[in-house]
Structure formats: C-alpha cells, structure tokens
Amino acid sequence: MNLFSLLETAQPEVVSDRFSGSVNLAEPARLGVFLTSWTQTTFLMDGVDVTSAARGGPLFVPSIQPWQRVEVTSGAFPIEVSGPGLLIALEPQRPPGQWEASGTGAGSGSRLVGTRGSLASPIARPAGTRYATATVGGPIADRAGLLVSASTMRASQFDGGSASTSEQASDSVFAHLVMSPSSVDELRTIGIRQVARYPGAHGVPSVVDGSGRREATTHIQSTWQHASPAGLGWRVFGALTDRAWDLRDGVAGLRVIERLADGPPSPLGAPGAGRERRWSAGWRATGTVARPGGVRHDFHVGADISGVSSSDDAAPAAIVGERVGGLPARLWHFSPSGDTRRTRTGMSAFVSDSVRLWNAVTLEGGVRIDRVTGTARRARQGITWTSVLPRLAARWDFGWAALYAAETRTADSLLTDVLAYGDPAAPVAEVYRWDGSRQGPLVARVGPGAGADGVLTSVDPGIERPVTREFIVGFEITPPRFVRTRMTAISRRRSHQVALRNVGVPVSSYDVFHVADPGPSRSDPIDDQLLPIYNRAPDTFGLDRYELSNSDQPATFHGVTVIFDRATPRVYLAASAAMGWTDAAAGNRGFGPGENDAGIIGELLTDPNATTHARGNVFADRQYDFRVATAYKLPHGMSFGVVARYQDGQPFSRMVVLPDLNQGADAIRAFRSGKSRFTFTGTLDIRVQKGVALPGGGRATLMLDGFNVINMDKEVEEWVVTGPDYRTSTLAQPPRAVHVGLRVSF
C-alpha cells in the first residue's frame, strides 16, 4: 500500500485529488492544503528534498513499510523550507541491532468488492489487487547496519464506469545503510529504485482510455552527521535523482473531450516522454549558548545548493476535438514539438536563533535568503527570483498549557514546467471552429511554446515570485492523564500569482453583451443577475500573443484546526477538524485539480470569459473536514484500528454555455466557486489483525483491511451545466473493498 491512503484519511487539513486506499495504488496523488496549490507540496526524506522540480509532488510513490515516522506540517513551516505548501517529512527506518526479517502478502478480488452503487458509476472500482513486501535488516559490521525493503504490487480497476479494466503496477527497492565511524559521527546512505506503471498522467483528461504511463526513478542520498558533547553539531548531505517517464497513448486519430468534465485540451498536446535529473547538497549546524540569568540561545544555520535538468522528447502532431456542455466547439491542432531542455539552479542560506527565557518563554527569529534561476534552451528570457523570507515565533509554556504564535513568509518553488512558456521547442496549437464534422476558421493560437517566430509566448522580465505571508496563533492543553488539545487559527495571504496574459488580443477586442441568469439561488429572485458575455471579434483571430506575468489580486485564507489525541499502552485516539474559507482566483474554469487551483497557469487572464466569477474557493478548500483515528490492542494478540472521515464536497460553479459565439461555444461561471459544492465524502476504514507466536521466536499476523466498509455511496462529481441535467451525479466514490493479508516476522 502507498502512503497517500494514510495522508488522505487521517490528516484533517490534507485534500487529495484521488482515492488511494483500495484504488490508484501506483499513482502519485496531488495533495493540497488550505490556500496553497498541490504543485507546492514539499516532500523531505531524512531532511533531503525529494520533490519533483518539474510537476510538483514526490519523485516516487512512497509505500508505507520503509518509514519509521511521517510528519505532516501545514503551517508555521521550519526555516529550512522555503515552500508555502504542505510539508511531508519522511523519517526512514534504521537497521535494527540484530538481524530481523519480515514479509507481508495481501490481496483482494472481485468477491471482496462491494456492488456498484445506485447513485452513479464509481470514479474507480477495484477488480483485483495483489501486493507483497519484504524487509530484512541488521548489523553488517562492528559499527554498521543495513536495512533493505522491497515491495511489488499489481492491481486492476474499472475507471469512471468503463467496461474494461486499467492496470497499475509498481516495484520498489529501498536500502538504508548506517555507519558510525566514531561515537559522535554517523554516515547514513539511502537508495531507492522504483518502477511504476499506471493509466494516463497528471493533467491528461480521463477520456484518453488505453493510455499508460511508466515512471522509473533512481535516487541516492548520503548524510554525515556529527554530534558534540558541548552541544554543537552539524550535518552535510548530498543527493542525486534520475526520473524518466514515458506515456504510451492508446488512442489514435482525433480525440474528443468534454471540456467541462475532462478539463482543458492543452495537456493532450504535451510530450509523451521525458526525464528529470536533480542534484542537491546542503549543510546544517546547531549550537546552544547559555547566558547568565537562565537565558539560553539555540542557533540553527544552514545553506543549500541544487540543480535540475528537465527534458522532454519531441512530440508528434495531435488533433483534439473540444466539446463544451455537449456542443462541438473547437478543434485543437498541435504542431510537432522538438526536444526541450530546461534547467533550474537554486541557492539558499538561513539563520535562526531561539531564545529560551526563564524556562517558560521561547522567542525565535530567523531569516532565509533564497535565490532560484531557471531557463529553457534557446529561450529569450529566463526567470530569476531572489527572496528574503523572515520568520518570527513565540511560545509561552505554563504548567500543562501553552500559547504560541508565529509569522512567516514563504515563496513558491519554480517548477521547470513553468519554463515551457517562451520555450521555442515547447508545444504550440492552432485552434479552429468546429461543428462536430467540419473544421471552421482559425480562432486562436496557443502555447506554451514560443512558436516558429519565437514571439507567441514570452516571459515578462519583471515577473515576481509568488510569496505567502502566514500568521498563526493557538494554544495547547495537556492535562495529566487526559486528552491533549491543540487549536490553531491560521491566516494566509498569497501575492504575485503567476498568470498568462494575452497581450495580443486584449479585452477591448471583444464585444460584450449580457444574458439573464438566476444566480446561485435559482428559486429566489433576490440574486438574479446579468452575466457579461465576451464575443471575440473575428478580425482578431490568430493575433494572440502571450506574456507570462503576475496577477494583480492577492489570494487569502482564514481557518482553524483543532486536534485531540491521547495515547496509552493499549489505546490510541485522535480526533481532528479543519475549517476555513479561501478567496483565490483559479487558473482555469472548472472544478478539477488542474483547473480550480491558484498554482495552475491557464486561461485566467487570456480569455475574459474566464474572469467572470473567477475568485472563490479552490480545489483544496473543503471548508469543513473531520477525521477520527483510533487503535486498540486487545488480549490474545488481537488489535484493530478505525479511521473515519467526513469531508465537505468539492467546490464548483454552475456553468452557463453560450452556443453561438464567434470563437465557438463557451462556458461562463454563473457564480463564484464554493457557492455550491458536491455532496460530502465519507469513508470508514478498518484494520483487524490477530498475531500468533511461531517456533523459533517468529510471529505470524493475519490481517484484514476494509476500505469504505459501510459502502457509502456519495457522489464525487456532478454535471455542472445549466439545464435539466444540472446537478445530476456523474461519478461516485469507490465501493467497499476488503484486503486479506498475512505478515510473518523473525
């Protein structure tokens, strides 16, 4: 099983773009939190960044077994991290002091899967799953130990009501070598090799049935850590990563998508194969200085340097038919694109000082200087950002309670995919009117490539880096032998959102008229409105010219998280809630993670019909979210655990489709995203296990895992177009699935 299943069900603030418990086992999920985009989620492994610099998200799909601890941070980020998004820190298992081995095998079949719900087809329904893991570790010398873990998985599932199954597979090997040259020095080396195969790719509409993506990742990192009896310590680390991917397209000829269900056509013209290579190195040092009067200073300093090379193979021509609300609208002709190469280098340094006063009050101040430079081969303009990111925090401990507050500034990571804008070798498309059978006149030219003349897209030399300012305040109460309570209020403001502007065809090139619309409440005339509709003048067709720049309006988030937890030798209980409200402009029209997300570069400022009601609640904003996790150890080697969640439905906007515009049928939001939401998601997952002793000191454990055990049939998508089918459920959550497994350890 992969780690995403645990994160999406147990963490109250985490929002995933897919279910990962019994389905999608080989595919990386896109995880978001509060205001920030899933593209800015950071993954660390033993303190080393293992985030993809091309797409965001992890460089590999983490399984569960190699990790000793997983720490999730959604606010008040540590100063050694520059990104504003979710932080997931993986602490690997260490080699044990004596040789130990364990193996697990589990699986599921169609007889262990619930029946199809009556509401709508499941977004994914498992057909069969088999997976196995093996871990062995122990000392290999007087001062050295090795732990090796391997896993393999094969799964089939029905996606979106399809009559045929799609296949997923992954094979991984993880190794952790720990050597101790002296009592104060330790050298840790981690290596990972993973090959994963799953349908499609991030951002590719689900209609591309038969496509398959293969990703092969090799990663190695080493850390030398030195501790001193005097309280001074340091560590240095270095890492190398290679991730290669290719997409086998199972659809030939014209591909037709529904824009309001499948998303924008642009990803279908992207290259089918590529490679990402990354190296990084860093240094950290900590120290403590005690002053008279009980004042203690804890210093933390560090520096990092990294480099990324991202390349895409040449892509053939492709044609995509775009329907909007069921109406034929446009044909996208993607020209063949060439080999691309984009590079990114980063340097950063930070220093912080935590002052402990009277053993009760702690004040922390720090600053991080972060510089990143990215460019595409033969592009006229690259991107260079230098950011100064301060941090202030305070904590007051009194008895079994504490108050805390922090103000931080973080900056977006520069993804190499962003550097496609202005890249002369990146994909370009000509967009024509289409009546479903015949091609009409040219309407527009789109990038992200700069085109043969090198001027279709460009980068504003003054483009600024998106920066998030965060303020948190909260309290923690831990009465003796009682539940610990933590409550945190969070406020965020993100400025300088990166956006694309159509400087060749400004808003003044459109004729404007209005249509009557009932607004959010169709039965109450109080919110009736006149929607502005922008009709493009034919004499501007094909004159498009785009500049990558910044949006003028900031995005904001205000929310609260509450966590209760209690642990005893036999019982663990945690309950949590997250509540919040976002006001942000999405990159594209639509409700999906590739559309309703402030980190996506899309049509926000290139098409005035996309600006109407563009601000609202983004994909990762569920407004109300509740999770409960508990585990019990029972007599006779039995135990069981339960994870339950309630998650508000996905925010969306009702879409009004205009059929007879000069540029083809188009859709306009009738109200801000979040005025309506899909039905909530509810799941109840359980694990029951029974252990027995084996001869020779071994142990066997029989396991039964149940996902959505009450077979809740709640929708996850609706038809959002004005008309008689508005709010008809189109996809529901996966049905109940049971996995049976056996673990043996010695």
Q: 17-39: per-residue pLDDT in tens?
A: 889 889 999 988 899 888 889 99
* pLDDT at residue 427, as a whole number: 93
What is the spatial distance between Cα 146 and Cα 178, in angstroms, rounded to a whole number?
6
Q: How many CB atoms lie within 10 A of CB 5?
A: 23
State the pairing for strand pair 457-459/546-550.
parallel
Q: Which amino acid is at 490?
A: I
Three-state DSSP state, 720: coil
Q: Which amino acid is at 335?
A: S
Q: Which of 219, 220, 218, 222 shows the shortest CA–CA distance to 189?
A: 222
* pLDDT at residue 583, as a whole number: 94
Q: Give tens-digit pLDDT for 102-155.
A: 999 999 998 999 987 778 999 999 999 999 999 999 999 889 999 999 999 999
Q: Give tens-digit pLDDT for 463-490.
A: 999 999 999 999 999 998 889 999 999 9
pLDDT top residue among 248 and 438: 438
* pLDDT at residue 203, as a whole number: 54
State the pairing for strand pair 318-324/255-258.
parallel
Sole residue written with tokens 């004159």: 543
**This prediction's pTM:** 0.93
Confidence of residue 521 (pLDDT cuts 50, 70, 90): confident
Confidence of residue 249 (pLDDT cuts 50, 70, 90): low
Q: Is residue 671 over pLDDT 70? A: yes
Q: Bridge partners of 236?
A: 224, 283
What is the spatial distance between Cα 494 and Cα 35, in angstroms, rounded to a whole number?
8
Q: Is residue 208 over pLDDT 80? A: no
CA 138 to chain centre: 35
Percent of the chain at pLDDT > 90 equals 76
CB 734 within 8 A of CB 23: yes
* pLDDT at residue 206, as a whole number: 55
Which strand (E) or helix (H) includes residue 259? helix 259-262
Q: Give tens-digit pLDDT for 326-379.
A: 999 999 999 998 899 999 999 999 999 999 887 789 999 999 999 999 999 999
Q: Is residue 399 over pLDDT 70? A: yes
Q: Is residue 394 over pLDDT 60? A: yes
> CA dist 316 to 110, 270, 429, Å?
39, 10, 12
DSSP characters over 628-662 = EEEEEEETTTEEEEEEEEEEPPPEE--EEEES--T
Confidence of residue 164 (pLDDT cuts 50, 70, 90): confident
Q: Is residue 55 over pLDDT 90? A: no
